[in-house]
Amino acid sequence: MKHWDGWEEIREVLPSFDGVYLDTMSKFSYEVLELPPYYDSKACLTAVFLYSVDGKMYDLMLRFIGISSLKMDMDVGFGDIQISPEQIEDIQFYVKDYEHGSVSFYCEAISYLGVEENTEESLKLALQKWRKLERMVEPDWQEVTETLDMLVDFVDRPVVTEILLRSVVHENKGIRDSGYEYLWYLDDSRAFELACTGLKSEDALRRINCLEYLAKWGEAEIVPQLLDRVENDDDELVRCYAAEAVGHNAEAEAIPVLQRLLLQEQDDVAKIGMLYGLALLGYRELDSFFENLQNDYYIVRIRAALYLTEIARNDATVLPSIVAKLKLCRELEETVAVREALDYALDELAN
C-alpha cells in the first residue's frame, strides 16, 4: 500500500490486518526524528497497538511520520482507532479515535516496526473469556474448548491451575466434561486425586479421560486400580485405555497379570490396548499388532496404527518394518477414518 512502509511484511505476519481499524493504543511516544532518505526533521508518533489473532494478543508497533494537528485527551483511553486516506499536499492519512475522540492527527506516512506476542494480554483475554463462559447457564461448547485451549498455554500459572481444577466440579455438565479433557495438562496432586476418583464414574468417557491422565501422571501405587478397570470395566474402550495406563505405570511383574487378562478378554478393542500395555512393559508381539491392522473393526485398526507409531518412535530397529506395513495397509484401506490414522502415523514417522 502506498505510503505504508512495510505493508507487505505486516500482511505476511497479520493477514487479517486491513490497515484501517486498530484497537487499544497501549503505548506511544512523540519525538522529532531525522529519517531517510533525505533526513528531514519530522514529527513522529511511535505507538504500540494491541492486536488479537486466533485467541492471542500481539503488540503491533507502528510509527506515524510527519504528524500535524495532533489532539489528545489524556483522560480517555486510546482505542477504536481508524486510519483514513486524506490526501492534502504531503498529508496522506487522517488518524482518529472514532468512538471517544481521545486522539486525532494527520500524517504523511506510516511505518511498520514489528509485532510480537504480548503473553500477559493473551492471558488476560483468555481469563476474560473464561469468566464470562463459566457464568453462563448454557455456554457454547466450542467456545469452552477454544478458551481452554488458550488457557493451557499458561498452565504453569496458579490462576489457570485453579480454573482447570474448578472446571471438573462445575455445575454445568459441558464445562465439567471439557474440564476432565484438559485435566491432562496438570501435574498436580489434586488433579491426580480427581483422576483416581473419576475411575468410578458412571460415564465411560469420564473414565477414559481419567485413565489418559493417569497414563501420563500416574504412579505405581495406582496399578491395582488400573488392573481392576482392565478386568472388570463394562466398556471395552475403557479396558483398552486402562491396559495402556498399566503399561505406563507398572513394572515387569504386571506382565503375567496382563497376559492372563488378555487370554480371558473377548473384545478386540480391549485386546489391542492390552497388547500395547504389554509392549510398554517390555513384552512385545509385533506380529499381533500387524494382524490387528487387518481387524474387521475399524477402531481396532486405528488403535493398532497409533500404537505401532509409538513403538517405532521408541525403537529405531523396528521402524523400517512398521513403516512398510503401514504403507501397505494404507494402499488397501477403504475406511476414511482409518486412512487418516495411517496418514498421520506415516507423517509422524517420516519426521
Q: Is the pLDDT of residue 1 over 80?
A: no
What lies within 8 Å, CB to CB, of 19 at 6+ separation is 1, 4, 7, 83
Mean pLDDT for 132-152 is: 92
Task: Report the alpha-carbon distance of residue 65 to residue 91 in Å, rounded.
Answer: 10
Task: Report the alpha-carbon distance of residue 197 to residue 45 in Å, rounded.
Answer: 58
Task: Quickly list H helices, the chain.
Answer: 7-13, 119-134, 141-151, 158-167, 173-182, 189-198, 204-217, 223-232, 236-249, 255-264, 268-280, 286-292, 298-314, 319-332, 336-350
Q: Determine what percent of the chain is predicted with pLDDT higher than 90.
A: 76
Mean pLDDT for 293-305 is: 97
- Cis status of the peptide bond prior to 37, with omega within 30 of 0: yes
Task: Give the residue extent of every domain in the chain.
Answer: 4-117, 284-351
The fold of 284-351 is: Leucine-rich Repeat Variant (1.25.10)
Angle at 23 between CA 19 and CA 27, to 5 degrees: 105
Mean pLDDT of the chain: 92
Instruction: Kindly state the cell numbers that stand for 89.
Output: 499536499
Q: Is the pLDDT of residue 67 over 70?
A: yes
| pLDDT tens digit sequence for 171-183 | 998 899 999 999 9
Q: Are 164 and 177 within 8 A, CB to CB? A: no
Query: 3-class SS at 112?
Result: strand
Query: Phi and psi for 91 in degrees, rounded to 5?
Result: -75, 135
pTM: 0.79
List Cα–Cα distances, 101 to 49, 73, 94, 212, 270, in angstroms: 17, 8, 13, 53, 66
Q: Is the pLDDT of residue 3 over 80?
A: no
Q: What is the pLDDT of residue 312?
A: 96
Rg (the chain; Cα; Å):
29
| pLDDT tens digit sequence for 208-242 | 999 999 999 988 999 999 999 999 999 999 999 99
Q: Is the pLDDT of residue 189 over 70?
A: yes
Going by the DSSP 8-state scheme, the letter that residue 80 receives in this structure is S
